[in-house]
Amino acid sequence: MSMHPVFAPARILCTGLLAAALLTGCGGKTEETTGSSPDSAGTPTGQAGTAERPLTELTGEVQLEVATWEELQQKIAEQNGKVVVLDVWASWCAPCKKEFPGLVRLQQQFPDSVVAMSVNLDYEGSKDNTPESFRDSVMPFLEEVGAKFPNFLFGQPSDEFYELAEIDAPPTVLVYDQNGTLHKKVDVDSIGGGNEEVSYQKHVVPVVEKLLSGE
């Protein structure tokens, strides 16, 4: 799959935190790597032990673990019967952090029928660091907003996520139906582009409510 053309100008413009705050998002650098870490029960992600502890039961504290694309898809599939809302974000993305509390409110609004998740794309694939090395910069924000649901550090270079998910940049919200099928990608393009930013209340909640109502 080829890289979307918007990545080139996005990488040029997003050269620092100030620029990131002015943009909706941007891409990263592609370099192949792999990543995996044990979950809170000590079982490597993606193995059978994960399925024995449904993620919906792990809501007492903020969680953060490394997960590859395949592991993310498995965790989403495990929530069969529930709507899954996956927030794709990065700590340098000001619009991402602005709307992230909307995901927290969404989980609180539909605690029994919706599973909220987030995946952070700070890791670009540099050999000088690892996905886990971003924990100290990502965890404080998640704790601040009370993200007491499954949160992940993407264990592959961020550009690989863009390609696999077929998205251009964060913020993007991926909404999966009760069968684990991707139902809607909510990003700047899907809401008409321009200067409008992704809003949970305006763009995501209505999608979730229609899924829950069976429309």
Q: Is pLDDT at 154 greater than 80 in this prediction?
A: yes
Containing structural domain, residue 142: 7-30+56-213
Residue 145, in any domain of the structure: yes
Per-residue model confidence as pLDDT tens digits over 16-65: 433 334 334 444 433 333 333 333 333 333 333 333 334 434 446 899 99
**In angstroms, how far is CA 22 from the centroid of its own chain?**
20
CA distance 163 to 166: 5
CA distance 99 to 69: 23
C-beta atoms surrounding 142 within 10 Å: 19
pLDDT for the residue 141: 97
Q: Is pLDDT at 77 greater than 50 in this prediction?
A: yes
- 131: preceding bond cis by omega (within 30 degrees): no
pLDDT for the residue 96: 96
Q: Which among 183, 161, 152, 151 is positioned nearest to 83, based on CA atoms? A: 183
Residue 126, in any domain of the structure: yes
Query: How many structural domains compose the chain?
Result: 1
Residue 35, in any domain of the structure: no
Domain harbouring 81, CATH code: 3.40.30.10
190: its two tokens: 């899907």
How much is the CA Rg of the chain, to the nearest whole Å?
16
pLDDT for the residue 188: 86
pLDDT for the residue 60: 66
Percent of the chain with pLDDT over 70: 72
pLDDT for the residue 195: 77
CA distance 68 to 72: 6
Residue 46, in any domain of the structure: no
Total length of the chain: 215
C-beta atoms surrounding 179 within 10 Å: 9
Residue 203, in any domain of the structure: yes
Residue 120, in any domain of the structure: yes
Q: Is pLDDT at 164 greater than 60 in this prediction?
A: yes
Per-residue model confidence as pLDDT tens digits over 176-201: 999 999 999 999 888 887 778 889 99
CA–CA–CA angle 176, 182, 184 (5° rounding):
85
pLDDT for the residue 162: 96
Residue 47, in any domain of the structure: no
Helix axis angle, 205-213 to 94-109, nearest 10°: 30
Residue 37, in any domain of the structure: no
pLDDT for the residue 170: 95
